[in-house]
Amino acid sequence: MVKTTLRINGMSCMHCVMHVKKALGSIDGVKNLEVSVGNATIESEKPLDEKALREAVAEAGYEVVSVG
For residue 47, give the 3-state DSSP assignment. coil
- Provide the whole-model pTM: 0.92
What are the angstrom distances between the C-alpha of 36 and each of 8, 20, 23, 33?
Answer: 10, 9, 14, 10
Q: What is the CATH number of the domain that holds 24?
A: 3.30.70.100
Residue 47 confidence (pLDDT): 95
Residue 62 confidence (pLDDT): 97
CA dist 46 and 59 (Å) reads 23
Task: Give per-residue pLDDT as tens, 30-67.
Answer: 999 999 999 999 999 999 999 999 999 999 999 999 99
Domain that residue 15 falls in:
2-67
Residue 9 confidence (pLDDT): 97
**What is the total count of domains within the chain?**
1
Task: Give per-residue pLDDT as tens, 14-40.
Answer: 999 999 999 999 999 999 999 999 999
